[in-house]
Amino acid sequence: MIQNIEPHVLDNSYSPRPPQDRDFVLIYCDKQAILKVNANDRQLPTYNELPPEWQIAGESLIYLFSVDGTAFFLSLRKVDESDTLKYEDALLFFRTLRPKWLAFSGSTATHLARWYDGNKFCGECASATEVSVTERAIVCPACGTLDFPQISPVVIVGITNGERLLLIKHANGYDRYALVAGYVEIGETLEEAVKREVMEEVGLCVNNIRYYKSQPWAFSQSLLMGFFADVVGDDSVSIDKAELSEGTWFHRSEIPKDDTTISLTWNMIEAFRSDVCGIVLGPIV
């Protein structure tokens, strides 16, 4: 999955320092970021690759995190593109940046960039905010309100029926097969969210809910939590047509293939496909 960057190590502690030449800089504006564009390559620019005319001084950069000692910084300053440094969709880093550890790092940097960019003014008193110098937070100098990076919990559900798995397709956006998923609502447990999302999206009841694994997902500022659950009673699918275009049961031997290996969704689908020993389908622990 996208966060598996071993042997590289992400250090997300807040340990700001001045930028060094080989540190990476994410220049973010209007959901786009500057990339160094070559014929067959996309990369984040390093600090020493920024043109002098952009006037991005080290003290104006926001420290984000480091990977193996290489730091990532953020600039929210709008700049003019050059021949090789151009704005591109910041939510597509995982498809364009190589190697894999840089794709994950760039995506994580984008998560923080969207949060910093969206909190320039205090939600309590509307005053301009400042970046904290002691922790990863935004502080209001007028009323003292502190804001911290936001992470939304999302459940993904592999609905099983013996040797079959339910796959869905969304009505809009992502057009490949996926699993039922949704945000956890206020006051819900994860298990309650699983049951509600399954009922709302495909009209099924489930039990034997069992946790599988989790994944940070910067593109929706979320933490994805995967569960498997067994259908109970009638297995007739009734999709929410506002959300989905398809809901189909597939025997494990007939599950379609996909070319992605980065998402928790397809990690779960492949786990079900290959789980001939019943590990995924085993009893709740």
- pLDDT at 119 (0 to 100): 94
Residue range 152-274, CATH number = 3.90.79.10
Q: Please report the pLDDT score of residue 209 as a whole number.
A: 96
* pLDDT per residue as tens digits for the range 11-23: 999 999 999 999 9
Give the whole-angstrom CA distance, residue 118 versus residue 112. 10
For 10-117, CATH gives: 3.90.79
Cβ atoms 195, 185 nearer than 8 A? no
Give the angle subtended at the CA of 141 by the CAs of 133 and 153, to the nearest 5°: 70
Amino acid identity for residue 133 in this structure: V
The chain-wide mean pLDDT, for the chain, equals 90
Contact indicator for 226, 136 with CB cutoff of 8 Å? no
Give yes or no for residue 95 having a pLDDT over 60.
yes
Q: Where are the domains of the chain?
A: 10-117, 120-149, 152-274
- pLDDT for 40: 75
Contact 109, 75 (CB under 8 A): no
Task: Give the distance from CA 104 to its chain's centroid.
Answer: 9
pTM of the model: 0.86
CA angle 267, 103, 52 (to 5 degrees): 170
Determine the Cα angle at 231 with ends 228 and 235, to 5°.
140
Judging by beta carbons within 10 Å of its beta carbon (0-12, 13-18, 19+), is residue 157 exposed, middle or buried? Answer: buried
pLDDT of 120-178, one tens digit each? 999 999 999 999 989 999 999 999 999 999 899 999 999 999 999 999 999 887 778 99
Does 228 have pLDDT greater than 70?
Answer: yes
Does 2 or 108 have the greater pLDDT score?
Answer: 108
Do residues 113 and 106 lie in contact, with contact meaning Cβ atoms separated by under 8 Å? no
Name the least confident of 7-16, 83-92, 178-187: 83-92
Per-residue confidence (pLDDT) for residue 54, from 0 to 100: 82
- What is the arithmetic mean of pLDDT over 261-280? 80
Residues 279-283: what's their mean pLDDT?
A: 51
Above 60 in pLDDT, residue 280?
Answer: no
| pLDDT, position 204 | 97
Q: Is the pLDDT of residue 115 over 70?
A: yes
> How is residue 64 written in tokens?
């984000």
Sign of the Cα torsion 108, 109, 113, 119 reads: positive
10-117 against 152-274: fold identical: yes
Q: Is 162 left (phi over 0), alpha (psi -120 to 50) or beta?
A: left
